[in-house]
Each structure stands twice: as structure tokens, then as C-alpha cells.
């Protein structure tokens, strides 16, 4: 971190205190109290870097000493083998017969892929009353972690004596060899074994994960979207929460029958109480806890604002399209597309807000100072790692210099017209250069394979891109004039769509087939206007990105050399286990309870009459007989989860399933940068609510009996 960056961050912290004082929120003389608070509560803490523990460095002693049970290798093996990773999410075996529990939002796309003509599984849910009715999900998989191994020293031995310019290729070669060795070691019979090597500590260490991959995964049960995403976007990343975000899959073997597994989590009947410990097992996505203060400065000032603009404008375009053409939008699955973007928008907003919190900046700055001091105090560390922070800061200044093209071109491929123009230009240039037919054929496939968005949606997305360009470069820039020949983004997009063959996949295919595609096409003229600036932007970023990766890896090595396994690595969507306790927290001037109930589910419905976000599904309209509305529905804990932990099992020390992780509260969005358990919480579906729903609302007795007995139940008659 440069002195300039340190001063900037310090000024922000003290400016905030002064601002609050001027508003009269702090009493006279309180600035001294704040300064004292900075000395303790704003200093780096033991777990600021989080609790995303890896299985290769399982925290046996810490778990045993902290929670009073024997967390030995057998315990961690049971936990590891009972958990699963599915596309984008986590999951868990909950019976010996391959039954798998996860979140509903994790399988929404799969739910639509298995529906048949005349069905709307998102609206009505799905329940297979027999094994034969369970529907195989195409191109889907589930991974079970067989082994985890730190292979850093093996990689380092392979790099001994290798010149700097050849180390990247040598690393890849070493990792391939490691993968082949481990696959051969763990493969038995017809098993599909998959080995993933993962860089940890920004590449400062390497671990290998050996998975058994299952590819016959079938949908057994899914709630309605309205139940699984109850509260919609307003409730997303909030708590108290009232969502039934759960679903069941089943894994089948090569013989076409459900697999038998010796490892699965028991289904708790008693659930959890406040103060109980829970362990959440899953695959947290990428975090930024090892970034430097200079990198955080760049994210706050440049990158996150650009990303937020992108999400806002694309969601606005999609929402306007959905309102204008609701039936067409539903057929295009616009709801699922918007869910993903709105989720990212809210998460990114939380990340930016976290970087405005003095406690986050102060703690991160203190941690960086501590690491720098420890490096400086050790001659060997100083010789190897000294100067890394200053070099990283200079790279961030170079990144910041590219703010204008970042804003203009972020997410360039969102518009299918521009995507086709990019591939069409490469195709035409290759033809002009006399490229061989196999190369041309590959480019044609890429050009003709661009997704065809509905014309009304594409026009709106194209207008958003033109507006980005005009906003970034200003009204007088030559690129803005080329992008807006008809005066406004909307008019220019409409004219381009009307006159370019690249706005339609069929017209593009016709032009390619007839060899009439040429540089006079309006989309190609637009592309040619911004391509020099775009290519210059990419060329400028390439060396920055490479140098930043190298420096980040060295900083990761420095952190591991100084602190060792006491600081877990950042999230990498690789298997982790984290610990926490069930606990409410203060919010909005009151207290958030440790768990909510089905009473709250109905209260949200009746407190927002006519609002579709809180409309209960039809089968929930009148609480069925036997449904106890005091049943816990969602609960929170201090466990360190992140994106990718959706669907993660929350288990007790006896490895009984008590919940399924599906979200974080708004305060927990700061976890991208720091783990602060005082108010940050992960949010889980309580298994008691799942059981009540299966029994009294969905009458899914076959699933319920299997959860309770561990045995396959007889088929149920159709209702």
C-alpha cells in the first residue's frame, strides 16, 4: 500500500466521524471516544479473514476445543463424503438411496428444462410420486469429494530451475501430472473420477480435490417459485426471512437405479435452538479478503460503480421488455434471467456499501500494516516480499486509467447484435486473409451460434450499450457520434436493428450462406468505430492482469509464510467447512430473532395485499389442517458463508441436518472483504418447516418416509 492510499483511506475514516459529529448524531467530545474505539474494535481480529476451513487442513483442534466434541479425521470424512457440489451450488445426501437436498433456487433452471408441454413447473412445483416419475436433468452433475491434498511442494519441485518465462507452462504440466496420478489412485471400476487442482492464497498454494462425479441426476421434488423465492427481490439478502427455498434430487447409477451411499446426513427432528453450534459444508465462491488496500480503493472508486451501472441498465431493459410483452418474455424465461442479475445487483451494492464502512476499512488497513511489519521484521521475508504492496498500488493506478473504456464496454457480449458483429468481423477478416476452410468453418459456427434474443429485448439491450458508450466518452467524442447517428440511444438502436442483418440469426445465416455479409452493414460500421478503442483497452489490461496475478500469488505466499494455516484462504468454489452459532442480532432499532416461523410467512402475505412478491401459492392459501404455524421456517447463524454456499447443509456436531443455507443478510454482504460475525448472518431453511410442508401441504409422503426411515418408500397414487 502506498502512502497516498493510506492517507486516502485514513481521510475517509476520519471524515466519516466528522460528518456524523456535524449531524449531531455523536455528542460533543465523542470524537475522542471514536478514536479510542479505533484502537480496539477497529483493529484486525483473529477471524477477520474468515472461517472457510479447507478439508486438507481440517481444523480438528479448533473445533474440538471450541465446541467440546471429538472432531477427528473420521468426523471430517463423514462430513466431506455426505456433502456434494452441484452446478453453481452445494447440496447433501440425506438418505442412503441417493436422495439429495438443496435449495430451490439452485435447480430453477433444471426445473424448467425437465418440464413438458403444457406444464409450468416454476408456477406449480413438482413432485414425483414414484421413482419412475423422477425426471433426469440433462447436462447435470453432482460431485462428491473423495480426497483433498495440498500439492504445493510437488508443484514447487517441478518448478525448480525453470526460467521465469516458462514457469506458467511448467505449472500447468505439473498440475496435469498430479491430476492423472490422483485419478489413477482413486478410480475404481466404472467410477467417474474428476480431479480439480485449485490455487489457494491467490496461487500461493495449490490443492488437489478428487471428486466422484455423478451424471444421472433426477428431479424428485421442487416447491413453487412463489414459495421458494417468497419475498422476491425486496427480501433477497435480508432477514427476517420467510422462504421455503428447498428441493430434492436423486442420483442414479449406471444401472439406472438409485445409488446406495454409505454416507448421508441424518434428518433432525428437533432442529436447533439459539446458541447451538452449526457446521455449514459447501463451496463458497470467490472472495476478496486477500486483496490489498490499493485494490480495494480501485474497486470502490472505479470497478464497482461500473458494474452497478451495467446491472441497473440491463435489468431496466429486461423489465421494460417483460412489461411490454409478458407472454413472450415468459417463454424466453426472462424471470430466471432477471433473478440472476437482480441477485448480482444487490450483492454488488452491498459490496460497495461495505467499502464505505469505517470498520471495514480500518480493520483491513490494520491487518495490512501487521503483515507488512512482520515481513519487514524478517530478513528473508523482507528480501522476498518487500515492495509488493507498492507494486500492487501502481498497478491499480494503471487500472484506474482505463475507467472510461471499462464503463463503455463492460459486458460487451450482452447484445446479440454486437456479439454477431464481433464474430462477423473476425470471420470477414479471416476470409480476406485467405484463412483455411477449417478455420473459417469454426468462425462461422461461432457467428451462427450466437443466442437469438427476442427483437424487442435486443433493441433495448442494444440501446443500453449505446448509452454506456455515449455516457463514458461524452457527447462530443467521435465514437459517441458514430454510436448515435439518430440522436438518441433508443432511436439509433431501432434504426440499426431495422437495417442490419446481424440483428437476427436467420438473416445472418442467409447473408453468410449467400456471401453478402459486408462492411456496409450498420452493426459492422458501429463495431469498426469502437473496435480500435476496445482493442487498445484490452491490450492495456492484459499486462496489468498478468502482473496483478503474479503479485497476488506472491502476497498469498507471504501471508501463508507469516501466518500459516491460521488464516484460511479466500473462497474459490472449492469444498470448505465453516462453523458458527445460531444467534439473532440487533437491526433497524430492534432485534432480529434467531428464527422465524410460518406465522410470519402468512403475516407477510396479509400485510402486503395484492403484492405478488408476498403472495402465497394457491395450495398455501388456507393453512391446511395439522399445519402448526409456530413451526420454525428460517434461521440464522454466524457461519462464514458466501455465494456458492447456496444449498449447503447445516449440520450439528452429530452430523444431523438442521437446515439448508440459502442466503446472507444485508450486513453479511461485507463478507466479500472481511468476516464480521457481530451482525453478519447466513440464512437457512429450517428442516422443521421442510418436514411440515412435505407432510401437510404437498403430501409428499414418499419423500418424507425416506427422510425418516432411510428406506425407499412405495409409490404413491396420483392425486
Concatenated DSSP letters of 304-362: HHHHHHHHHHHHHHHHHHHHH-HHHHHHTTHHHHHHHHHHHHHHHHHHHHHTT-HHHHH
Q: Which among 519, 528, 477 is positioned nearest to 500, based on CA atoms?
A: 519
Strands 142-150, 193-200: pairing is unpaired
Q: What is the pLDDT of residue 39?
A: 55
Q: Assign a CATH topology to domain 50-141+215-287+569-719.
A: Thrombin, subunit H (2.40.10)
Q: What is the DSSP string of 189-217?
A: TT--EEEEEEEEGGGTEEEEEEEEEE-EE
Q: Which among 199, 79, 242, 168 is positioned nearest to 570, based on CA atoms?
A: 199
Residue 241 near residue 231 (C-beta atoms within 8 A): yes
Strands 656-664, 266-267: pairing is parallel
How far apart CA 187 and CA 686 sit, in angstroms, is 37
Element housing 616 (H / E): none
How far apart CA 379 and CA 398 sit, in angstroms, is 30
How far apart CA 441 and CA 200 sit, in angstroms, is 39
pTM of the model: 0.87
Residue 235 near residue 613 (C-beta atoms within 8 A): yes
Residue 260 near residue 98 (C-beta atoms within 8 A): yes
Q: What is the pLDDT of residue 576?
A: 98
Place of cell 458508450: 469
Residue 683 near residue 665 (C-beta atoms within 8 A): yes
Q: What is the pLDDT of residue 541?
A: 95
Residue 237 near residue 663 (C-beta atoms within 8 A): yes
Q: Which regions of the chain are under pLDDT 50?
A: 1-7, 9-38
Query: Over the stretch 482-516, which tens digit does the pLDDT of each residue have?
Result: 999 999 999 999 999 999 999 999 999 999 999 99
Q: Which residues contact 511 (CB under 8 A, 6 or more apart)?
A: 501, 517
Name the DSSP letter for residue 364: H
How far apart CA 502 and CA 89 sit, in angstroms, is 36
Domain ranges (residues) in the chain: 3-40+291-401, 50-141+215-287+569-719, 407-534
Q: Which among 484, 478, 447 is positioned nearest to 463, based on CA atoms?
A: 484
Query: Over the stretch 535-557, which tens digit does the pLDDT of each residue have?
Result: 999 999 999 998 999 999 999 99
Q: Is the Cα torsion angle 411, 415, 419, 422 positive or negative in sign?
A: negative
Q: What is the pLDDT of residue 26?
A: 34
Residue 351 near residue 673 (C-beta atoms within 8 A): yes
The H-assigned helical ranges of 47-190 are 60-67, 73-82, 108-113, 121-124, 152-159, 167-186
Amino acid at each position: 500500500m502506498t502512502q497516498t492510499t493510506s492517507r486516502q483511506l485514513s481521510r475517509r475514516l476520519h471524515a466519516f466521524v466528522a460528518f456524523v459529529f456535524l449531524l449531531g448524531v455523536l455528542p460533543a467530545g465523542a470524537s475522542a471516544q471514536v478514536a479510542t474505539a479505533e484502537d480496539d474494535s477497529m483493529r484486525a481480529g483473529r477471524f477477520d479473514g474468515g472461517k472457510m476451513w479447507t478439508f486438507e487442513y481440517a481444523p480438528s483442534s479448533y473445533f474440538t476445543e471450541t465446541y467440546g466434541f471429538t472432531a477427528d479425521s473420521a468426523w471430517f470424512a463423514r462430513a466431506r463424503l455426505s456433502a456434494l457440489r452441484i452446478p453453481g451450488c452445494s447440496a447433501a445426501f440425506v438418505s442412503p438411496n441417493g436422495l439429495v437436498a438443496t435449495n430451490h433456487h439452485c435447480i430453477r433452471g433444471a426445473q424448467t428444462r425437465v418440464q413438458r408441454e403444457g406444464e409450468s413447473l416454476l408456477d406449480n412445483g413438482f413432485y414425483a410420486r414414484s421413482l419412475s416419475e423422477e425426471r433426469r436433468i440433462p447436462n447435470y452433475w453432482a460431485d462428491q469429494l473423495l480426497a483433498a491434498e495440498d500439492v504445493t511442494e510437488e508443484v514447487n519441485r517441478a518448478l525448480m530451475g525453470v526460467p521465469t518465462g516458462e514457469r506458467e507452462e511448467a505449472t500447468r504440466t505439473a498440475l496435469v501430472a498430479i491430476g492423472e496420478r490422483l485419478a489413477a489412485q482413486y478410480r475404481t471400476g466404472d467410477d467417474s473420477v474428476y480431479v480439480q487442482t485449485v490455487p489457494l492464497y491467490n496461487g500461493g498454494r495449490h490443492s488437489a480435490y478428487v471428486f466422484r462425479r455423478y451424471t444421472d441426476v433426477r428431479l424428485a421434488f421442487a416447491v413453487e417459485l412463489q414459495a421458494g423465492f417468497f419475498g422476491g427481490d425486496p427480501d433477497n439478502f435480508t432477514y427476517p426471512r420467510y422462504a421455503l427455498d428447498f428441493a430434492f434430487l436423486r442420483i442414479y447409477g449406471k444401472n439406472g437405479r438409485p445409488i446406495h451411499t454409505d454416507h448421508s446426513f441424518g434428518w433432525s427432528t428437533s432442529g436447533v435452538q439459539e446458541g447451538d453450534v452449526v457446521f455449514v459444508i459447501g463451496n463458497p465462491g470467490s472472495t476478496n479478503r486477500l486483496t490489498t488496500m490499493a485494490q480495494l480503493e480501485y474497486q470502490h472508486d472505479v470497478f464497482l460503480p461500473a458494474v452497478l451501472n451495467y446491472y441497473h441498465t440491463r435489468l431496466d431493459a429486461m423489465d421494460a421488455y417483460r412489461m411490454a410483452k409478458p407472454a413472450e418474455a415468459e417463454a424466453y424465461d426472462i424471470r430466471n434471467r432477471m433473478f440472476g442479475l437482480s441477485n448480482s445487483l444487490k450483492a454488488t451494492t452491498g459490496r460497495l456499501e461495505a467499502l464505505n464502512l469505517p470498520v471495514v476499512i480500518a480493520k483491513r488497513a490494520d491487518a495490512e500494516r501487521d503483515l507488512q511489519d512482520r515481513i519487514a521484521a524478517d530478513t528473508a521475508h523482507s528480501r522476498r516480499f518487500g515492495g509488493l504492496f507498492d507494486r500492487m498500488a501502481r498497478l491499480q493506478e494503471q487500472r484506474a486509467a482505463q475507467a472510461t473504456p471499462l464503463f463503455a464496454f463492460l459486458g460487451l457480449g450482452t447484445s446479440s447484435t454486437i456479439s454477431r458483429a464481433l464474430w462477423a468481423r473476425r470471420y470477414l477478416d479471416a476470409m480476406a486473409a485467405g484463412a483455411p476452410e477449417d478455420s473459417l468453418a469454426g468462425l462461422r459456427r461461432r457467428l451462427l451460434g450466437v443466442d437469438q434474443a427476442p427483437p424487442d429485448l435486443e433493441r433495448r439491450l442494444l440501446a443500453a450499450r449505446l448509452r454506456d458508450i455515449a455516457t463514458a466518452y461524452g457527447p462530443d467524442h467521435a465514437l459517441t457520434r458514430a454510436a448515435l447517428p439518430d440522436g438518441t440511444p433508443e432511436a439509433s438502436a431501432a434504426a440499426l436493428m431495422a437495417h442490419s442483418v446481424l440483428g437476427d440469426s436467420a438473416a445472418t445465416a442467409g447473408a453468410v450462406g449467400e456471401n453478402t455479409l459486408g462492411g456496409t452493414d450498420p452493426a459492422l460500421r458501429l463495431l469498426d468505430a469502437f473496435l480500435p478503442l476496445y482493442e487498445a483497452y484490452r491490450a492495456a489490461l492484459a499486462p496489468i492482469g498478468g502482473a496483478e496475478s503474479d503479485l497476488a500469488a506472491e502476497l498469498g505466499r507471504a501471508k501463508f509464510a507469516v501466518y500459516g494455516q491460521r488464516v484460511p484462504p479466500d473462497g474459490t468454489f472449492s469444498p470448505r467447512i465453516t462453523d458458527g452459532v445460531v444467534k439473532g442480532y440487533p437491526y433497524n432499532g430492534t432485534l432480529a430473532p434467531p428464527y422465524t416461523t410460518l406465522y410470519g410467512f402468512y403475516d407477510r402475505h396479509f400485510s402486503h395485499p395484492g403484492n405478488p412478491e408476498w403472495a402465497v401459492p394457491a395450495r398455501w392459501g388456507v393453512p391446511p389442517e395439522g399445519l402448526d404455524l409456530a413451526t420454525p421456517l428460517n434461521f440464522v447463524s454466524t457461519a462464514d458463508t458466501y455465494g456458492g454456499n447456496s444449498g449447503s447443509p447445516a449440520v450439528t456436531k452429530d452430523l444431523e441436518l438442521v437446515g439448508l443455507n440459502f442466503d446472507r443478510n444485508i450486513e453479511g454482504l461485507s463478507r466479500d472483504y472481511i468476516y464480521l460475525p457481530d451482525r453478519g448472518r447466513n440464512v437457512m431453511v429450517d428442516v422443521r418447516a421442510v418436514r411440515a410442508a412435505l407432510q401437510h401441504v404437498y403430501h409428499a409422503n414418499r419423500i418424507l418416509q425416506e427422510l425418516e426411515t432411510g428406506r425407499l418408500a412405495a409409490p404413491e397414487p396420483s392425486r
